[in-house]
């Protein structure tokens, strides 16, 4: 189960109070792919971090009994002075994976070649994203949290990602943040719309996209 129980998230930065979520209770439907849409700053990424557990809510509880990924889509967790291989090793270790298996997988998938032996700080943002995506695909999660990641890399890499992704979807569920109606339409079948602190659930993804467009 994955559920929000009276969750509020409020940021206080330099005296500016920003309410992202206000007393939200919601049970994420199981075995369905959920989209999260909303304007910039509506709190989509915050919601992802709350779901993953990288950040605690200001009040209320997030219940999760599934194996949930970290929020994919940015390379925030990489250590810049460590090489690609070392970062892969670290993440495999904390998730209790067979390190060599994960390295082999990421090598094949991310196609970074000898760059994997260089420090991450020498990588371009595209290379980092490929590494991050490959790494997350190498570990089996029940729920993948995806934050605007499908647009990574060139056309061939995108095709490859899509194929791997479709394969994953057979056994896993995704919760996805995206501004692209096409992407949402392709992967999700229901979704949440975040707007001015209010959250609405749409059982049909078409209705969600229509509502998002009329914002």
Partner 1 sequence: MRQMTTAELLTLQIRVILSLVLRETRATFGTSSFGYLWAVITPTASVAVLVILFSMVGRHAPFGASLALFFATGILTLQFFTETSGKLMTVFDANKALLTYPIIKDVDTILARTILISATYLVIMVIFYSGLIVAGMAQFPARPGQLVLVFLSTALMGLGYGAMNAVIVSLWDTWMQIEKVLTRPLFFISGIFYVPSQLPTRAQDYLQWNPILHLVEWFRIGFYPNYNSSILDRTYPVFVGAVLLLIGLAGERLFRRSRF
Residues that bind partner 1 (CB under 8 A): 1, 52-58, 65-66, 68, 70-71, 74, 76-79, 81-82, 86, 90-91, 93-96
Place of tokens 């970062």: 87
Q: Which residues of 65-85 are buried (b: 16+ CB within 10 A; e: fewer)?
A: eeebbbbbbebeebeeeebbb
Residue 113 C-beta: closest distance to partner 1, Å? 20
Q: Which is nearer to partner 1, 13 or 40 (CB)?
A: 13
Which one, 91 or 205, has the nearer CB to partner 1? Answer: 91
CA–CA dist 154, 149 (Å, integer)? 13
Q: What is the DSSP letter of 19?
A: E
Alpha carbons 187 and 34: distance in angstroms, whole number = 9
The nearer residue to partner 1, 58 or 185, going by C-beta atoms, is 58
CB of 121 to partner 1, least distance (A): 12
Tokens 């994976």 map to which residue? 97
Our CB check for partner 1 shows the closer of 35 and 52 to be 52
Nearer to partner 1 (CB atom), residue 6 or residue 158: 6
Q: How many CB atoms lie within 10 A of CB 6?
A: 13
CB of 198 to partner 1, least distance (A): 22
Q: How far is the CB of 50 from partner 1 (least distance, A)?
A: 10
Pairwise CA distance, residues 56 & 62, whole Å: 8
List the structure tokens of 100: 């060599």
Q: How far is the CB of 95 from partner 1 (least distance, A)?
A: 7
């Amino acid at each position: 189960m994955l559920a929000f129980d009276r969750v509020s998230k409020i940021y206080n930065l330099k005296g500016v109070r920003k309410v992202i979520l206000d007393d939200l209770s919601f049970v994420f439907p199981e075995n369905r792919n959920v989209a999260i849409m909303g304007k910039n700053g509506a709190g989509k990424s915050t919601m992802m971090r709350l779901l993953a557990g990288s950040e605690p809510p200001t009040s209320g509880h997030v219940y999760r009994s599934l194996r949930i990924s970290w929020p994919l889509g940015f390379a925030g967790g990489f250590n810049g002075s460590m090489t690609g291989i070392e970062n892969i090793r670290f993440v495999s270790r904390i998730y209790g994976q067979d390190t060599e298996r994960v390295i082999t997988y990421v090598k094949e998938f991310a196609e970074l070649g000898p760059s994997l032996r260089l420090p991450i700080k020498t990588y371009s943002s595209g290379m980092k994203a490929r590494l991050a995506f490959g790494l997350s695909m190498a570990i089996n999660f029940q729920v993948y949290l995806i934050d605007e990641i499908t647009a990574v890399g060139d056309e061939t890499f995108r095709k490859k990602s899509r194929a791997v992704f479709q394969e994953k979807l057979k056994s896993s569920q995704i919760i996805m943040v995206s501004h692209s109606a096409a992407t949402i339409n392709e992967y999700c079948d229901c979704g949440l719309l975040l707007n001015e602190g209010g959250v609405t659930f749409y059982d049909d993804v078409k209705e969600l996209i229509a509502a998002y467009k009329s914002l």
